Chain A
Amino acid sequence: MSTLEKNDSMPTKGAIRIEDVVKVYDPEGAAVMAVDHCSIDIPAGEICMIVGPSGCGKTTLLNTIAGFHGLTSGHIYLDDEILCGPGKEKAEPGSDRIVVFQNGALFPWKTNLENIAFGPMMEGKLSKAEIYEKARKMMVDAGLEGTEDAYPGEVSSGLRRRVEIVRALMNEPKVLLFDEPYRALDSLTKSVMHEALLEIYYKNKVTIFFITHDLEEAVFLGHRLIIMSSRPCKPKKIVEVDIPHPRDYSVLTSPRFREIMNEAKSVVNEEARKAFEAGEKEG
């Protein structure tokens, strides 16, 4: 991974190896192949952007890593430890891999602070006072002070997203799994969220598995883009983004950014057209 800075700020934990994974829905009936012999290697601390047309099976792959779905064959490893594979179809959901969902999954009945404290409270390793102290500090660091006692429904959707990312980080995960988290945001809020995410990432380096179909988002955030083929899902092309981190929004106007965008766009368009012609439905 040439674009990944090989310095000691990169974490040593959180490498994901997806090996020859196949996922078939409903094996007895009309078998639908969602993921087809997919292999991806993500080094620890990389922001890996998974780009592909809607409904290509990206989310299936994410759910398999998270442990919400099983796989049909193949292996998934986290730091050389097997998450799931033959004999263990379904990974155990765990706080080392936290998902940030497409529509957000903050608990509306808990305040932002309580949401952020939820994971450690469940783990039960620290005292309540310690957890809340840490949660407050994390919120201040993420620019969320003043919203501690508000309910998620009382703050803007952009702030909610930030709370959710902080909630994920409170669990000290090795991997963050993003499932198109900014899909519903308008483009202005989105650009603010991108910079905020990078800021959080520079402070807490974790591996990021980020699903999107917004190409600009993918190139701006990612170390690498893995462009997936339309259903069944498998990597079609890997695009290295050799723009050095830390990045800010001035990157968007750089010639190199345009070049990478163009390179990726032609591949994505081809897949999108295929998906469209195959009559793939949204989802």
Chain B
Amino acid sequence: MNINKFKSNFSTRATFRGLIAIVIFVAIWEFGARSQDLIGYRMPFIGLIPPPTAVLETWADLVVDVSYWQSWYMSFLRVFTGFIMAMIVGIPLGLYMAINRTFYGIAFPSFEILRPIPPLAWVPASIIFWPTQEMSIAFVTFLGAFYTIVINVLGGAKSINRQYVQAAQSMGASQADIFRRIVLPATLPSIVVGSAVGMGITWEVVVAAEMISGGGSGGAGGGLGFFIWSSYVGGSYEQIIVGMISIGIAGFISSELLRKLGGRFTPWLKTR
């Protein structure tokens, strides 16, 4: 988890083992994928996918291709639009449900009925009621992060140690002070956790949504999900793998960014 720890352990035995394992994995993949040529027998499953060397070759061509980076850009844009909207709406909603019993009574049941509906089930409906395709994809990604963020914020704000509030009260804090200086910071760790989980779901959702809704009329490129889908339709198996790995990297970058940011907002948790 901790990146510094990871760095300081870089030369240790565990890292060495990890590297060896990756090398062996890639070697088996390469061998398996070429088994038809090498030993005259096609290995099951692995014999059907392109070898890593071929994937790298394809990737090298794509790196200089603008449309490949366009896909990255589109997916990132959608993920962050949906995600930031989910934070803007979800954090205040969760906090308000936690501090206002009346509002909780009104909003929580509806929320709980909507929550189990998977974001992808919203795809057709959102295509119908949002004017542009871009908006419907953003909406579905928004939903991916929204429920997780609200539930985490609500849970975090509700489980605040009551004695923090009592201590603040007896030291003369007003209601507004208690919200700003106790409830908000005490909920921050839950906000960070909820966001991290939400970000993961957002990537899952955006890829699926892009595959379903297609390249789109915008012509600006369909994102990494559509990149994989069109590679499949076009029969370029190497590109499918490139797309998959790209999403893995993109997801990792997003999580890392969030973790860094989250760490900055919750410096007191660093030492735990």
Contacts and interface: CB of A to CB of B under 8 A. Distances in A.
A93 B163 CA distance: 13
Nearest to B182: A107
Interface stretch (A94-102, A135-143, A219-227, A236-244): A94-102
A38 to B, nearest CB: 22
Nearest to B165: A105
A173 to B, nearest CB: 9
A217 to B, nearest CB: 21
B168 A118 contact: yes
A132 interface: no
A2 to B, nearest CB: 32
Nearest to A102: B163
A151 B271 contact: yes
B85 interface: no
B171 A171 contact: yes
A104 to B, nearest CB: 8
Nearest to A96: B170
A95 B173 CA distance: 10
Nearest to B271: A154
Interface size class of B (residues with CB under 8 A): 20 to 34
A122 B163 contact: no
Interface size class of A (residues with CB under 8 A): 20 to 34
B165 to A, nearest CB: 9
Interface in B161-181: 161, 163-164, 166-174, 177, 181
B272 A153 contact: yes
A93 B266 contact: no
B128 to A, nearest CB: 45
Contacts of B172: 94-95, 119, 122-123, 171
A189 interface: no
Contact of B167 (A94, A105, A108, A109): A105
Interface string B138-173: 000000000000000000000001011011111111
Interface of A, secondary structure class, is loop
Interface in A46-104: 66-68, 93-95, 97-99, 101, 103
Nearest to B174: A122
Contacts of B269: 153
Contact of B171 (A67, A68, A108, A122): A122
B259 to A, nearest CB: 18
B45 interface: no
Nearest to B265: A109
Contacts of B166: 66, 68, 93, 99, 101, 105
B268 interface: yes
B271 A109 contact: no
A98 B169 CA distance: 10
A203 B64 CA distance: 74
A97 to B, nearest CB: 7
A87 to B, nearest CB: 22
Contacts of B268: 108-110, 151-153
Contacts of A119: 171-172
B185 A99 contact: no
A160 to B, nearest CB: 13
B164, B171, B272: most-surrounded residue (chain A CB, <10 A): B171
Given A105-B164, A109-B185, A153-B272, A122 B170 contact: no
Contact of A66 (B170, B177, B272): B170
B171 A105 contact: no
B49 interface: no
B186 interface: yes
B244 interface: no
A123 B182 CA distance: 16
B98 interface: no
Given A66-B166, A101-B163, A107-B182, 7 more contacts: A95-B171, A107-B164, A110-B185, A118-B171, A151-B267, A153-B269, A153-B272
For the complex of A and B, the 8 pairs showing the least CB-CB separation, nearest first, are: A119-B171, A109-B185, A105-B163, A151-B268, A105-B167, A93-B170, A122-B172, A93-B169
